[in-house]
Amino acid sequence: MKIKELEIHGKTFLAPLAGITNLPFRRLVKECGCAVVCSEMISAKGIFYNSEKTITLLTSREDEKPLSVQLFGADPESMAQAAAFVEKMGVADIIDINFGCSVKKVVKQGAGVALMKEPRTCEAILKAVRKATNLPFTIKIRSGWDESGRQAFALANIAQETGVNAITVHPRTAVQGFKGLANWDLIKKIKEQLTIPVIGNGDINCVEDAAKMISQTKCDAVMVGRAAMSNPYLLSQIENYMTSGTYQEPKLYEIFRKMERLIELYLAYFGEQHGVRMLRGRLPWFIKGLPGSSAFRKVLAQITTSDQALALIREYENPAYNQQ
């Protein structure tokens, strides 16, 4: 599949996840194997006003490429300037616009999924961003505000007409948030309507879900969010399954090595103090459901250094590893 001239080697996208798909986590998932990683959503206004905190979110590394940088905002001018700035920085291979975020803070600004009620503003944003950048340009949408899916069809058409190069569909309404099931049938219908690539998203929890979404909707690629948080191997498992028809479950010791790698990546990016604080919440994802994981989480909540985190992993690993 191609997004503009960019050849995508594979069928998997790591979803943008605010507060989670930072540089260290993206690198971890990329090292496991996936086609494209996405940044968390980044405020176009923050870039426009040169906010240091926002600009830091644009840090990238060659080894995570290709990177899709997602922008959110409600105003065509700042969105266009932000897209031009990102292109000039040379960090992004793809610019993505968020039309799906249902978080109150974002919706209140008229951004994210709120835009799906305003097709004329959407069109103005898409035209302005398309004019401002030559980068491959994608959008990520929901079904819309209500169950009809009409807003999704309308926006998908506007996007294709204004020169957007691919579209990700998370088929849940704004009101649904993350509740209920994603309506994969909407992905199928949008795919039938468009000629640009369609990336399907929502409720892929295992390899078989991804295969089912592709066969049911004929989408060109899949995007995985929440399930990748506890299994960074999932996207590479999907890639393997798509190319060879088989995939492997990671061994326990491989999961522990990945936890250690995440510690290393977090420290390199956030520094010891901030990195360790964040890791307290992140590391338990990897052993969710395994015996002793809640005790692990409780001890981890008390740690203050990365050495303590590493020692805890080793301590936790021994009995579990020996049971294999």
Residues of this chain that interact with ligand FMN (CB under 6 A) are 15-18, 20, 40-41, 70, 98, 100-101, 140, 170, 201-204, 224-227
279: Cβ contacts below 8 Å, ≥ 6 apart:
262, 263, 266, 300, 306, 309
Which amino acid belongs to residue 261?
Answer: R
SS3 category, 145: coil
State the minimum distance, in angstroms, from the CB of residue 106 to ligand FMN. 9
Q: Which among 38, 101, 122, 219 is annotated as catalytic?
A: 101
Measured from the CB atom, the residue of 127 and 226 that comes closer to ligand FMN is 226
Which CB, 16 or 232, lies closer to ligand FMN? 16
* DSSP secondary structure string for all residues of 155-199: HHHHHHHHT--EEEEEEEETTTTT-S---HHHHHHHHHH-SS-EE
Task: Report, in Å, the least distance between residue 41 CB and ligand FMN.
Answer: 3
**CB of 38: closest distance to ligand FMN in angstroms?**
8
Closest C-alpha to 239, from 29, 3, 64, 24: 29
Please, what is the angle between helix 23-32 and helix 234-244, to 10°?
A: 30
Cβ of residue 314: shortest distance to ligand FMN, in angstroms?
A: 29
Tokens of 296: 């692990």
> Minimum distance between the CB of residue 7 and ligand FMN, rounded to whole angstroms?
23
Confirm whether 34 is a catalytic residue: no
Nearer to ligand FMN, 164 or 204 (CB): 204
Nearer to ligand FMN among residue 81 and residue 102 (C-beta):
102
- Find the residue with minimal CB distance to ligand FMN: 225
| Residue 203 backbone zone (phi > 0: left; psi -120 to 50: alpha; other: beta) | left
Distance CA 184, CA 175 (A): 17
Burial code (b: 16+ CB inside 10 Å, e: under 16) for 80-109 equals: bbbbbbbbeeebbbbbbbbbbbbeeebbee
Residue 51 backbone phi and psi in degrees, to 5: -65, 130
Largest CA distance in the chain: 61
Judged by CB, which is closer to ligand FMN: 20, or 303? 20
Active-site residue list: 101
